[in-house]
Chains A and B, each alone.
Chain A
Amino acid sequence: MTELTLSKAIGTGLHRALAEDDRVVLLGEDIGTLGGVFRVTDGLLAEFGSDRVMDTPLAESAIIGTAVGLAFRGFRPVVEIQFDGFIYPGFDQIVAQVAKMHYRTGGKVRMPLTIRVPYGGGIGAVEHHSESPEAYFAHTAGLRVVTCSTPQDAHTMIRDAIACDDPVLFFEPKRRYWTKGDVDEDASYPLEKARVVVEGSDVTLLAYGPLVQTALDAAIAAGDEGISIEVIDLRSLSPLDYDTIEASVNKTGHVIITHEAAEFGGMGAELAAGITDRCFFRLEAAPQRVTGFDIPYPPARLEEHFLPDLDRILDAVDRVLGRTNSLTGWTK
């Protein structure tokens, strides 16, 4: 057990992957000499050399596209997209090539790419540096989409993602990069599986990535008012672990989904539909979503109004339980 930041936990995961499999190669902008703008790949160039840790020219489509070619040749590329909002120039290569190659070739060509994407807001950044584009990729057949919320998962999941024979979009909650936690390098947990972080009996609160901590804070605050919230860290967004979700909702009868990404067509919409389909007769209220608004990511001085926070989650708890809002006095 070692105490690591989430960022360092990914770094040690990458280190292990590079050390254990010589077909693993890292590609990205500024990942070598600089160690990445978030220092996730710090020290890897010095140890493994520029053949394994490649600083690339600034072209996201080419970073993904050349990784496709490397995968064709049996490499296991790990690509870093510097910021969430920079992924779109690579969108075609991801959704039209990476995602479809295994299907297109009848299973002859595998695409064991891992595409690392620091994502989400809360860091006071400028445009294109705070986005949550996960739903685009979860919507795309052929891709797996996962996201971590703790240093332990960061380490375990990046190694599992790299080992996976399918392409994996690995979303890293950038505002939690400096969260510290114990990491057991030998721990294991299925990549597809959600995790019940805190058990509860009144409300199921589904969160992932940066908002898992916010959800935990909300659960503690609600607990003070005698409401028992079960927090589930989804971990995998494609596929979704409906077994775990279903078991929880069947227990609580109330569900709240929270994410930073916009509400419309987001993960919350899929979850609400999937849960309604599976747990319709057990639900006591409509699933509630606490999400970013359907607007472009706002300027930094407005992001506190955009990002779901503890109070907005508690407001949803009140709504889903039909209670009076303890702050505003409003009723559902």
Chain B
Amino acid sequence: MQSTTAVIDRSAQAYPPAVVQIGVCMSTAVSAQRQQVALDFESGDVVQLLDPAGNRLADSHYDPLITDLTDDRLTALYEDLVIVRRIDTEATALQRQGELGLWPPMLGQEAAQVGSARALRSDDFVFSSYRENGVAYCRGVELVDLVRTWRGTAASGWDPYTVGMATPAVIIGAQTLHATGYAIGCKKDGVDSVAVAYFGDGATSEGDVSEAMVFAASFAAPVVFFCQNNHWAISEPVGLQAVRPIADRAPGFGIPSVRVDGNDVLAVTAVMREALKRAREGGGPTFIEAVTYRMGPHTTSDDPTRYVDPLQREEWAGRDPLARVEKYLELSDEVAAGIAQRADRVAAEFRAGCLELDDPEPLSLFDNVYATPHSGIARQRSRYSAYLEGFES
């Protein structure tokens, strides 16, 4: 159990079972504000079906939801985990090589993203933040489309309607309202599609997330609030956003919630399927807190050595989402090599696509500002066009 390294301070907390203070060497210098809300495996409030050692934990409630996940199917999920990590690594490399302006790594969050996204149907609709590139991959977003924004060649990457996923919202938490509105629309249309909002622990402090929960509850919207608590909002620890587990907020809005080990792809799949079923059957919204850890920087512009405690990071490295599946499946070298090879091919295709992205035409500046003709934009376009032509003659 990883939590043996934690010192549980139950005296100061109203709801001690889920709130622990990590007892690390920095702790004497850590203020009360920086107290960590961490994953407490011993308290029993976090759904876990596959522990970090690769042990399959029986769960009478959630096991029936994943009976179809045979070793073969789990191997396919494992391949997704490997591939999205490989894409992520490649993107970071591309940024370091000057090919991308910025990249927000998801290292460590692969299971939370793959497990939840693979539980969706094609007619469901995702509204995400910018770190959900693993979700985007699972939704079928073309590899090259993942980097258009980060290379600066387009305002966003893909057609939301072809993959059932909006392009990322950069304003933190704004997309939770879009998901709620979309879900209300599904209900109006009499379909059982579900909208999913992906966001992080930092976003839960934004008013939009609370407002989204109010609206979702009032209109019984078929929406899943999928919060990846990766412990960090750039440099701010989750303890600054919440002094109690984030999932505890939802019941106050009338929304059932669950904490799940976000590094356990089986558990994430199970809780997501339960939430989706509830939504499809008219049971309204669910709030999922996938407890995970951002193993990398906020973005490639960030320097986490200024604030991340190395011991805490090391502790989470021991809960790696891929390693536990490897231990459980005991894949043959041949199968493992095949997966690694396919991941490399994806990475090569991804890189090639990125490098082929050329700068857009200057006058495309003015495209799509409006859907219908706008005289003001037309005038500016025409003037700038004439200005540019002046250099050509």
Chain A positions near chain B (C-beta within 8 angstroms):
25, 51, 54, 56-57, 59, 61-62, 64-75, 89, 92-93, 96-97, 100, 102-110, 112, 141-142, 144, 164-166, 192, 238-243
Contact = CB atoms under 8 A, between A and B. Distances in A.
B186 A73 contact: yes
B183 interface: yes
Nearest to B373: A192
Given A109-B160, A142-B370, A62 B376 contact: no
A64 B160 CA distance: 20
Given A75-B185, A105-B159, A65 B211 contact: yes
A78 to B, nearest CB: 14
Given A65-B208, A192-B375, A104 B156 contact: yes
Contacts of A57: 211, 214-215, 218
B14 interface: no
Contacts of B174: 65, 92-93, 96-97
Rank and list the top 7 A-B pairs by shortest CB-CB distance, nearest first.
Answer: A69-B181, A65-B177, A66-B181, A73-B185, A62-B211, A69-B182, A239-B376
Contacts of B371: 102, 107, 110, 112, 165-166
Given A59-B215, A65-B181, A108-B159, 14 more contacts: A57-B215, A59-B214, A61-B207, A62-B177, A62-B214, A69-B177, A71-B181, A73-B182, A73-B185, A73-B186, A92-B171, A103-B155, A104-B167, A107-B368
B180 interface: yes
Nearest to B197: A69
Contacts of A110: 371
**Dominant secondary structure of chain B at its interface with chain A:** helix
Contacts of B207: 59, 61, 89
Interface range for B: 35 or more
B369 A142 contact: yes
A75 B182 CA distance: 9
Contacts of A106: 154-156, 159, 367-368
A103 B155 CA distance: 7
A73 B189 contact: yes
B211 A97 contact: no
A92 B156 CA distance: 19
B391 interface: no
A52 to B, nearest CB: 9
Nearest to A193: B375
Nearest to A66: B181
Nearest to B185: A73
A153 B198 CA distance: 43
Nearest to A75: B185
A192 B378 CA distance: 13
B179 interface: yes
Nearest to B368: A107
A56 B376 contact: no
Interface string B164-187: 001101010010111111111110
Nearest to A110: B371
B293 interface: no
Contacts of A109: 160-161, 166
A74 B374 CA distance: 22
17 contacts: A59-B207, A61-B207, A62-B177, A65-B174, A65-B176, A65-B177, A66-B212, A69-B181, A69-B182, A71-B181, A102-B371, A103-B155, A108-B160, A108-B161, A165-B372, A166-B371, A192-B375
Contacts of A144: 370, 374
B211 A61 contact: yes
Contact of B185 (A70, A102, A103, A241): A70
A108 B154 CA distance: 13
A89 B169 CA distance: 18
A244 to B, nearest CB: 11
Nearest to A241: B375
Contacts of B369: 102-103, 141-142
B211 A70 contact: no
A72 B166 contact: yes
* From A25, A73, A144, A165, residue with most partner B Cβ within 10 Å: A73
Nearest to A242: B375
Nearest to A164: B372
A97 to B, nearest CB: 6
Contacts of A102: 368-371
Contacts of B166: 72, 109
B215 A105 contact: no
B181 A105 contact: no
B127 interface: yes
Interface string B352-367: 0000000000000001
B195 interface: yes
A109 B159 CA distance: 8
B29 to A, nearest CB: 36
A153 B208 CA distance: 35
Given A66-B184, A72-B178, A103-B155, A239 B211 contact: no
A67 B184 CA distance: 10
B188 interface: yes
B94 to A, nearest CB: 22
B125 interface: yes
A70 B185 CA distance: 5
A166 B377 CA distance: 14
Interface string B99-111: 0000000000000
B191 to A, nearest CB: 10
Nearest to B169: A97
Contacts of B370: 102, 142, 144, 166
Contacts of A89: 207
Contacts of B177: 61-62, 64-66, 68-69, 93
B282 to A, nearest CB: 15
* From B186, B219, B375, residue with most partner A Cβ within 10 Å: B375
Nearest to B374: A239
B183 A69 contact: yes
